[in-house]
Amino acid sequence: MDGNDKGSGGGPGGPGEVGGPPGADDPAGSDEAVGPDDPAGSDEPGPGDPASGEPGPEALVPEEPGPEDPGPDEPVREEPGPEERGPVAEREARVGIAGLRLGYQIAAACALAVVAVAACVHIGMLFLHVAPSNTLTKQHGDVVDEWIYPEFEQNWKLFAPNPLQQNVAVQARAELRTAEGGVRTTEWYGLSAADAASIDGNLLPSHTQQNELRRAWDFYVGSHDSQNRPVGLRGQLSEHYVRRIAYMRLDRAEPGHKGDEIARVQLRSKTTNVRPPKWSDEKVSPKPIYRVLPWWSVGSEDLPLADGKGRTDTEGRAGTEARADAEGRVAADAERAAR
């Protein structure tokens, strides 16, 4: 190729042509020097040369699309707006009560309101029941008692000056007339322990298991003196009541053999102090205290309601009539005691 051709760099070129002498038409070219890293005659800009304004070789490499980036031929998908989505998709987007229809939303809101009001009323009644005497309990004490008793009874008082610090267990034993004509005394049966075992682990214990024996014993202790002598008619009523409970529970336990009958029953209480916490300096005696009641003879009025232990129909009818008479006497005693 001829050295005078354009771009060959073999000969002098015209003004503004590539390969011309430096500084021919560019006055500033005479002041610039060729750097050690720039080869003479090289007109290509370096990578990322800011003077040229063109990207370098690395910037020209196309980036691979990521997993979420659409390809060059794939159209970009846009999320549909609320007006483009159907009613089914809009209902699926809702959760909770907001996803229900209007009628169901109103019903759910009313049910929640009723539950909240009932919970607030119940908590308020419990607070008034265990709180000290005040104006509200004096004026509306009957309403509070009707709400609490017997299902929600509380055996504690709020701000009690002397809380219970003793465990009281009621025990009973029986004197049996054996089939051979002898007499035998059984060991002590833990009536309170049996109630505690039936309540432990039971999500819905009965009112009888929780309170029958405890209330009967409190009734007896409150209506008798330290010598176990009854005070008024309430003392006699409480004695019949606790004796009936002890006899019926011993009869269900079947302490004797076949043909043995319960002739007398005896009760006692075992009172044990609750141990103080480890951080307390209080000292209490761990020795239990017993209160032994006298023997009570069992009569026909104390027979259980069921007559399935080999009794004849005549004996069953006699026992039923005797129980009716005894219950009538107990009711009359209770009425007189209330007066």
pLDDT digits (tens, 9 = 90+) for 163-219: 678 899 999 999 999 988 899 999 999 999 999 999 999 998 888 888 899 999 999
> Residue 237 region, left (φ>0) first, then alpha (ψ -120 to 50), else beta?
alpha
pLDDT at res. 276: 86
Question: pLDDT tens digit string along 43-67?
Answer: 555 555 555 555 555 555 555 555 5
Q: Report which of residues 250 and 27 the model is more confident about.
A: 250
> For residues 164 and 30, which has the higher predicted lDDT (pLDDT)?
164
State the pLDDT at residue 183. Answer: 92
- pLDDT at 112 > cutoff 70: yes
Average pLDDT, the chain: 74
Over residues 122-146, the pLDDT tens digits come to 999 999 998 888 888 889 999 999 9
Residue 263 and residue 247: Cα distance in Å, rounded?
10
Model pLDDT, residue 277: 85
Q: What is the DSSP string of 75-111?
A: PPP-PPPTTTS-HHHHHHH--GGGGS-HHHHHHHHHH
Q: Give the percent of the chain with pLDDT over 90.
A: 31
Q: What is the pLDDT of residue 294?
A: 93
Q: Which of 238, 235, 245 minimizes the C-alpha distance to 170? A: 245
> At which residue do the structure tokens 């073999």 appear?
10
Q: What is the pLDDT of residue 93?
A: 62
